[in-house]
Structure 1
Amino acid sequence: MDIRLHDRVVLISGAAQGIGRAMALVFKAAGATIHLTDLDEAGVAAAGASLSAPAHACDLSDRAAAHALVRKIAEAEGRLDILALAAGGVRGQVGRPIEEITEEDWRSLFQANVDGAFWLSQAASPHLKRSGWGRIVMIASGAGLRPSLTGIQAYAAAKHAVVGLVRQLSWELAPHGTTVNGVAPGLILTNPATHEQWESYGPEGRQRILDGLHTRRLGSAEDIATAALFLASEQAGWITGQILSVDGGRL
């Protein structure tokens, strides 16, 4: 299958590293015009420079900032066709007993994983509805389908919220020509936090995880990015409201 996205404009969040940056690579290779955004100003600037793509530092949990970003891109390009949303993560948190979780611990992970995805989708929806064609692909997680290996209550709850958001927005937007889907990665080592998590399991724990995968190997950011590319393609036009697990066949 040859996926081409010429004449499509894509906004990729979480593009400074990991899955977001991998999506930037594959979407650009498919011919799309890409715009990158991330909270990490230096990281997204470096990604933009390496890909010759506009880079926008933005706190997407701020509704006004997210809306302003979409407006800026739509005005510059004359259109916005695809949202590829990878911003999120654990914000340095680790698994702890429920009694120890503060309000800030809880709210910060919803801001990182849910708020930005909603505000960008809200801001983009008028443009997508007017054009009659659009794609929204959100990076969810296996933690949105079952208990999280991280042990972080807020992360699991936030990723479950992303799954619900995908399905609800699909119901609203698909009649207007915009599909909304999610990709649920397994454990992908993409940044210091995920490497630290992997190391914390110890040799026996790491082997148990690998033994629980049909493929007997961890995946890569590119594995997730190519799945997102497919869901954003013309060929996936009758797929919507779905969560695609890309996890090596987790048992």
Structure 2
Amino acid sequence: MKLDFTNRRAVVTGAAQGIGRTIVQSLAAEGAQVWALDMDDVGLRTAKEVGAQQTRTLDLSDRSAVARTMTEMADTLGGIDILVNCAGGVRGQVAKPVEDVSEEEWLVLFEANVHGAFFCSQAVAPHMKRNGFGRIVNISSGAGLRPSLTGIQAYTASKHALVGLTKQLSFELGPFGVTVNSVAPGFVLSNPNTQRQWENYGPEGQARLVQTIHTRRLGAPQDIANMVMFLTSDAASWVSGEIISVDGGRS
């Protein structure tokens, strides 16, 4: 199966590091014109180095700024074919008892993991519907399907919300030739936060975690990018509304 992305116009959020940057690199290597978005201006330089045609420093919680950026991209390239919502994470939070979670801690993770994905999807939908083609992939998490290893209530709840958003958008946009799916990664060493989490487990905790994974290894960003490449390709035209675990069999 050859996955050809020649002349496909793609936008990837959370593109400055780890999984997002690897997705940018993979799409660009197969011919896509990729715009890379992130809040990390320094990290976006590396996205440019691995193939991004354009980069934009953008706060995805700013709905109007998101809309302007997507309109600019569509005007510049003549449309938008692919959106990969990869931005998100724990924003430096750690587990604590539910009664100690502040309103700000709760809301900021919904902004990071749900609001941005919704605003981006909302902004690209008219362009995709007009062209009768589109691929939206949301990077959720195993935490969107079960309790999270992080123990962070807002992270788990927001990733579950992203799963629900995926299914609802698939239902709404499917008749217009737009598929919407989600990839739910297992434990992937992809950024400083996951590296710290891994180190905090200690040797015994690390060994226990690896034993729960059928393939007996942690994931790599390329493992996730490979699934995104399939879901955004023409080969996946009849795959929509799916939440696909890429976790070495742990689920």
Return the TM-score normalized by structure 2: 0.98
Q: Which amino acid aligns with 1:4?
A: D
Q: Which amino acid aligns with 2:87?
A: A
Unaligned runs of 5+ in 1: none
Shift of the alpha carbon at 1:51?
A: 2.3
Equivalent position of 1:143 in the other structure: 143
Structure 1 residue 12 corresponds to structure 2 residue 12:
yes
Q: Identify if the C-alpha distance between structure 1 residues 87 and 52 changes in structure 2 by more than 3 Å, giving closer, same or farther.
A: closer
Provide the alpha-carbon RMSD of the alignment.
Answer: 0.9
Equivalent position of 1:39 in the other structure: 39
Does the 8 A contact of 1:114 with 1:159 survive in 2?
yes
Structure 1 residue 177 corresponds to structure 2 residue 160:
no
Equivalent position of 2:98 in the other structure: 98
Residues 31-82 of structure 1 deviation map (CA, whole Å, 9 limit, x = unaligned): 1110000011121133224425210000011111111110110011111100
Equivalent position of 2:211 in the other structure: 211
Q: Which amino acid aligns with 1:82?
A: I
Q: Which amino acid aligns with 1:126?
A: P
Unaligned runs of 5+ in 2: none
Does the 8 A contact of 1:230 with 1:236 survive in 2?
yes
Q: Write the mapping of 1:44-83 to structure 2, written as runs, cut at 5 A.
A: 44-51=44-51, 53-83=53-83
Q: Which amino acid aligns with 2:16?
A: A
Does the 8 A contact of 1:170 with 1:240 survive in 2?
yes
Secondary structure, aligned partner of 2:34 = strand
Residues 159-184 of structure 1 deviation map (CA, whole Å, 9 limit, x = unaligned): 00010000000000001000000000
Does the 8 A contact of 2:29 with 2:51 survive in 1?
no
Equivalent position of 2:27 in the other structure: 27
CA distance in 2, matches of 1:215, 1:237: 29
Does the 8 A contact of 1:128 with 1:134 survive in 2?
yes
Does the 8 A contact of 1:142 with 1:184 survive in 2?
yes
Shift of the alpha carbon at 1:140?
A: 0.5
CA distance in 2, matches of 1:50, 1:21: 8
CA distance in 1, matches of 2:239, 2:117: 20
% identical equivalent positions:
53
CA distance in 1, matches of 2:131, 2:47: 29
Return the TM-score normalized by structure 1: 0.98
Shift of the alpha carbon at 1:23?
A: 0.2
- Aligned residue pairs total 251
Runs of 4+ in 1 over 3 A off after TM superposition: none
Q: Write the mapping of 1:158-173 to structure 2, written as runs, cut at 5 A.
A: 158-173=158-173
Equivalent position of 1:109 in the other structure: 109
Secondary structure, aligned partner of 2:36 = strand
Q: Which amino acid aligns with 2:29?
A: A
Does the 8 A contact of 2:24 with 2:52 survive in 1?
no
Does the 8 A contact of 1:45 with 1:56 survive in 2?
no
Secondary structure, aligned partner of 1:51 = coil
Q: Which amino acid aligns with 2:116?
A: G
CA distance in 1, matches of 2:232, 2:116: 19
Secondary structure, aligned partner of 1:201 = helix
CA distance in 2, matches of 1:65, 1:106: 23
Equivalent position of 1:128 in the other structure: 128
Does the 8 A contact of 1:26 with 1:229 survive in 2?
yes
